[in-house]
Structure 1
């Protein structure tokens, strides 16, 4: 039985990055031997075990064979006769197909260290084409490492294009696509993820509304702006989809199985962009339209979401229209001061109270607009 540190831990160690997770491969062992040593089995499709003390994952060396379309269509073979090289060969990129033995020796049968030095993302073998999810993983690693100068090599890009042309990407389920997109949105350069997908023609399959070069350029400009100031997933999704109309933004976020907060903020951003563009063409801003915007954003109950929306709009709106946001913030600040209890003390109740609150808010917004004009 031999144990090797594999994959991302080896890659990040060689890059001088913090190693957050350690995965191990065990060669020459059976599940029974692992259990006898106190490991706990957790893998259903193939034997993966948790170390009794560190809780790190130890997987028995395995090989895979393609049997169907998509990323589910694999049969897995795991037995003591599977070698380390055979296990590493099934991995996606050469920089992820290195291992380190217990005595510290680097095992690098596919020249991953060379590709690290040359800043190259390269597939390990033709078996890469058997799993369309590897296209998204490659794009995600590009998003993580492009600030260090990494790029997808031409041969791998050609292979990914062929996979798309063969229809492999069509078989990815939305939930798995969303998982990769969500991770990519939090990489160092999330825009690179979508640029790689566009370069291999996968974006036209996965998010066709963004695939036109001029549309993608504007979307990534907004995303990169938001990326510099916030780490919230919903704001990044909203920025990415800010180039779409409200209906399309909500539909695409829903089709990708994005969480409800992402769908909601993406729709709100698109709605506000359209209304702001309309309002900025007017000579005078009507107070009732500003109040409608605050109502639409549910500002009274969810002021924190309104603030998140304003941050996204600050990146998504064209420069001349961003000045409107200060006006809207002043209107919101003024309207916040309405005290329903004070109105109730004056005898208002029921629907009359609702009307009184609305009138008071309108008055305060009009005052805020007057102060702004002055």
Structure 2
């Protein structure tokens, strides 16, 4: 029985990247031998075991033969006569089919090391087409390795498009799709994942709502003044947010913010109630089609539903601000405010130059929240208010605090404008 380190651990070590999880393949072993050595069987469909001490995964070398549709439609063979080369052949890309033995010797029968040097994502064989999940995996690796200038081999592109045209992507479960998307959204460039899916045709098969927005949901029509969007900027907010925040819920919400921006009329968002409602409904369908965590979905729907309010936040009255905070449940979930502010800030470049010098949309939203939040509920109670009167007095004091803050804000803005006029003269 021989044991080899395989997959991402070998690949990332060769690229001088941090090694996260280690996966091992056992050649010449059997389930009985693994159990006798203290390993615990965990694989339902494949012979996978956990090491008794490290808890790392050890899988018996196996071959897979296509027997049906989808990524689970395979017959697995894992007898002791399966060779290391045969096991490596079933993997998706050459860079993931490199093994290392206990002496530090590498086994690379499919040229993965050369592809690492050439920064190339390349399939091992035509069997790549047998597993539709590999289309998403290649897109994810493209996002993961963007900083290292990896590119997809032309023949691999061809096979990815072949998988899309075969219709096998429809066999993927929503849970599995979200898992790949979640991993992609943890990379430094999650927008690359979506762009690759778009370029090979998979985005329309997997996320038709997203693809429709990307291609501009509405065509230009004189009768309703709907205009097309710049396709190159559809994922702009997501890419900007990803530079500063690593949380998947914020990144996913930024994607939905991009969707909303691509659907409604960009130059008249606050008055386009029709486009606003349609955009929110489409994003709701998109979120419901994925098996994503509830907190991810809630944040995404909030940035969509109140997109117009966030974009005119500088013009909101104290009453409108309090209503907005109530609608997003900010008092019970204050972390939402900071997350939303981060997303809105990524789109602040469109706001007037004078206001940019004072505060961005996200900053204004967050600062207004801090003013309202600093009004003490305990002080109201200590003043003798009881029952419903507490809420009424709290509301009155918050309105008063926001009014004072806004007047100060307007005073500073007026000074800035006067200074600008003076300089121009």
Query: How high is the TM-score relative to the length of structure 2?
Result: 0.82
How far, CA to CA, are the matches of 2:14 and 2:176 in structure 1? 29
Which residue in 1 is equivalent to 2:397? 360
Which residue in 2 is equivalent to 1:306? 337
**Is the CA contact (8 Å cut-off) linking 2:94 and 2:124 kept in structure 1?**
yes
Aligned-pair CA distance for 1:278 = 5.1
How far, CA to CA, are the matches of 1:94 and 1:293 in structure 2? 52
Give deviations 1:265-290, integer Å, cap 9, x for gaps: 1111123322234566xxx6422112
Give deviations 1:296-340, integer Å, cap 9, x for gaps: 222222222211111111114553077344433343232223333
Closer/same/farther in 2, CA of residues 344 and 16 from structure 1, 3 Å limit: closer
1:327 to 355, 359, 364: 364
How far, CA to CA, are the matches of 1:353 and 1:13 in structure 2? 61
Closer/same/farther in 2, CA of residues 276 and 54 from structure 1, 3 Å limit: closer
How far, CA to CA, are the matches of 1:365 and 1:308 in structure 2? 21
Closer/same/farther in 2, CA of residues 344 and 9 from structure 1, 3 Å limit: closer
**Is the CA contact (8 Å cut-off) linking 2:144 and 2:188 kept in structure 1?**
yes
Give deviations 1:163-186, integer Å, cap 9, x for gaps: 111101111111111111111011
How far, CA to CA, are the matches of 2:39 and 2:382 in structure 1? 68
Give deviations 1:104-163, integer Å, cap 9, x for gaps: 322111111111111110111111111111111111111111210101111111111111
Which residue in 2 is equivalent to 1:39? 39
Closer/same/farther in 2, CA of residues 341 and 60 from structure 1, 3 Å limit: closer
How far, CA to CA, are the matches of 1:82 and 1:254 in structure 2? 43
Aligned-pair CA distance for 1:247 = 2.8
Segment drifting more, 53-62 vs 115-124: 53-62
Segment drifting more, 166-175 vs 1-10: 1-10
**Is the CA contact (8 Å cut-off) linking 1:139 and 1:193 kept in structure 2?**
yes
Which residue in 1 is equivalent to 2:421? none
Aligned-pair CA distance for 1:234 = 0.8
C-alpha RMSD of matched pairs (Å): 2.0
Gap runs ≥5 in structure 2: 216-228, 261-278, 412-425
Q: Aligned with 2:250: secondary structure?
A: helix
How far, CA to CA, are the matches of 1:324 and 1:47 in structure 2? 54
Closer/same/farther in 2, CA of residues 58 and 275 from structure 1, 3 Å limit: same
Q: Aligned with 1:192: secondary structure?
A: helix
Q: Aligned with 2:235: secondary structure?
A: helix
Aligned-pair CA distance for 1:6 = 1.4
How far, CA to CA, are the matches of 1:33 and 1:325 in structure 2? 60
Map 1:185-200 → 2, pairs under 5 A? 185-200=185-200
Which residue in 2 is equivalent to 1:70? 70
Q: Aligned with 2:393: secondary structure?
A: helix
1:258 aligns with 2:292: yes
1:288 to 319, 325, 344: 319
Q: Aligned with 1:20: secondary structure?
A: coil
Aligned-pair CA distance for 1:367 = 1.5
How far, CA to CA, are the matches of 1:247 and 1:278 in structure 2? 21
Which residue in 2 is equivalent to 1:271? 305
**Is the CA contact (8 Å cut-off) linking 1:327 and 1:369 kept in structure 2?**
no
2:252 to 237, 250, 260: 237
How far, CA to CA, are the matches of 2:32 and 2:370 in structure 1? 66
Closer/same/farther in 2, CA of residues 53 and 348 from structure 1, 3 Å limit: closer
Which residue in 1 is equivalent to 2:387? 350
Closer/same/farther in 2, CA of residues 324 and 27 from structure 1, 3 Å limit: closer
Q: Aligned with 2:330: secondary structure?
A: coil
Q: Aligned with 1:70: secondary structure?
A: coil
How far, CA to CA, are the matches of 1:202 and 1:93 in structure 2? 19
Aligned-pair CA distance for 1:349 = 2.6
Aligned-pair CA distance for 1:92 = 0.3
Aligned-pair CA distance for 1:346 = 4.2
Q: Aligned with 2:45: secondary structure?
A: coil
Give the number of equivalent residue pairs. Answer: 371
